[in-house]
Structure 1
Amino acid sequence: MTAPQRIGPYVIERLLGVGSFATVWLGYDPLLDGHVAIKVLAENWSHDLRVRERFRDEARLLRRLEHQRLVRVHAVGELPDGRPYAVLAWADGGSLRDRLAAGPMPGPAALRLLGEVCAGVTVLHRHGVVHRDLTPGNILFRSADAGAEQVLIADLGLAKALAAASGLTARAGTPGYMAPEQDNPGAVIDARADVYGLGRLGIRLLAEPVPVGADPPRSAGVLRLRDGVPAPVAAVLIRATAHRPGDRYPDAAALHAALDRAANPVRQPPSPVAVTRRRYRLPLAVAVVAAVAVVGAEPGGAGAHRGTYTAGPLSVTLPDGWSATGATWAGQYGVDGEAEPALVMSPRPRRWAADPRVPGAFVGVSASTAARTTPAGFLAERTHGDCTPAPARTTRQAGVEWTVVTYHCDRGRPRIVEAAGRHPDRPALLYAQIVPPVDGAPDFVDVLLAGVRLR
Structure 2
Amino acid sequence: MTAPLRIGPYTIERLLGVGSFATVWLGYDRALDAHVAIKVLAENWSHDLRVRERFRDEARLLRRLEHERLVRVHAVGELPDGRPYAVLAWADGGSLRDRLAAGPVPGPTALRLLGEICAGVAVLHRHGVVHRDLTPGNILFRSADADGTGAEQVLIADLGLAKALAAASGLTARAGTPGYMAPEQDDPGAVIDTRADVYGLGRLGIRLLAADAPSGGPAGPDPARRAAPIRLREGVPSAVAAVLARATARHPADRYPDAAALHAALARAARPARQPSSPRPAGRRSYRLRLAGAAVVAVAAVGGAGAEAGGNGSGRPAAGTYSTGPLTVALPAGWSATGASWAGQYGANGDPEPALVMSPQPRRWAADPRLPGAFVGLSAATAARTTPAGFLAERTHGDCTSAPARTTRQAGVEWTVLGYRCDRGRPQIVESAGLHPGLAALVYVQIVPPVNGGPDFVDTLLAGVRVR
What is the TM-score normalised by the length of structure 2? 0.59
CA distance in 1: counterparts of 2:276 and 2:90, whole angstroms: 42
Q: State the Cα deviation string for residues 216-258 of structure 1 (Å, max 9, x = none).
A: 3878972110011000000000010011111111110111111
Deviation at 1:128, TM superposition (A): 0.4
CA distance in 2: counterparts of 1:126 and 1:262, whole angstroms: 23
| Residues 218 and 238 in structure 1, CA contact (< 8 A), matched pair in contact too | no
Deviation at 1:210, TM superposition (A): 3.3
Q: Name structure 2 gaps, 5 residues minimum.
A: 278-289, 295-394, 406-415, 422-452, 456-468
CA distance in 2: counterparts of 1:16 and 1:167, whole angstroms: 33
- Which residue is equivalent to 1:81? 81
Deviation at 1:147, TM superposition (A): 2.6
| Residues 132 and 159 in structure 1, CA contact (< 8 A), matched pair in contact too | yes
1:338 aligns with 2:345: no
CA distance in 2: counterparts of 1:222 and 1:338, whole angstroms: 32
Q: Taking structure 1 as reference, are residues 18 and 90 closer, same or farther at Cα in structure 2, changes over 3 Å only?
A: same
Deviation at 1:107, TM superposition (A): 0.4
Q: Taking structure 1 as reference, are residues 218 and 454 closer, same or farther at Cα in structure 2, changes over 3 Å only?
A: farther
SS of 1:63's equivalent in the other structure is helix
- Which residue is equivalent to 2:222? 215
Q: State the Cα deviation string for residues 5-27 of structure 1 (Å, max 9, x = none).
A: 00000000000000000000000
CA distance in 2: counterparts of 1:79 and 1:182, whole angstroms: 33
| Residues 75 and 87 in structure 2, CA contact (< 8 A), matched pair in contact too | yes
SS of 2:133's equivalent in the other structure is coil
- Which residue is equivalent to 1:230? 237
- Which residue is equivalent to 1:376? none
1:352-363 to 2 correspondence within 5 Å?
none
CA distance in 2: counterparts of 1:219 and 1:183, whole angstroms: 17
1:150 aligns with 2:211: no
CA distance in 2: counterparts of 1:243 and 1:429, whole angstroms: 33
SS of 2:178's equivalent in the other structure is coil
1:253 aligns with 2:234: no
Q: Aligned-residue CA RMSD in angstroms?
A: 2.6
- Which residue is equivalent to 1:239? 246
CA distance in 2: counterparts of 1:229 and 1:172, whole angstroms: 32
1:130 aligns with 2:191: no
- Which residue is equivalent to 2:100? 100
- Which residue is equivalent to 2:24? 24
CA distance in 2: counterparts of 1:313 and 1:253, whole angstroms: 16
1:8-407 to 2 correspondence within 5 Å?
8-145=8-145, 147-211=150-214, 212=217, 214-216=221-223, 222-268=229-275, 313=293, 335-340=396-401, 366-367=402-403
2:398 alignment partner AA: G
- Which residue is equivalent to 1:436? none
| Residues 144 and 153 in structure 2, CA contact (< 8 A), matched pair in contact too | yes
SS of 2:166's equivalent in the other structure is helix
2:399 alignment partner AA: E
What is the TM-score normalised by the length of structure 1? 0.61
| Residues 210 and 216 in structure 1, CA contact (< 8 A), matched pair in contact too | no
| Residues 183 and 224 in structure 2, CA contact (< 8 A), matched pair in contact too | no
CA distance in 2: counterparts of 1:220 and 1:43, whole angstroms: 42
Count of residue pairs the alignment pairs up: 295
CA distance in 1: counterparts of 2:400 and 2:249, whole angstroms: 30
CA distance in 1: counterparts of 2:53 and 2:226, whole angstroms: 41
Percent identical among aligned pairs is: 81
| Residues 225 and 234 in structure 1, CA contact (< 8 A), matched pair in contact too | yes
Deviation at 1:208, TM superposition (A): 1.7
SS of 1:250's equivalent in the other structure is coil
| Residues 144 and 152 in structure 2, CA contact (< 8 A), matched pair in contact too | yes
1:245 alignment partner AA: P
SS of 1:147's equivalent in the other structure is coil
Deviation at 1:166, TM superposition (A): 2.4
Q: State the Cα deviation string for residues 58-79 of structure 1 (Å, max 9, x = none).
A: 0010000000000000000000
CA distance in 2: counterparts of 1:31 and 1:257, whole angstroms: 43
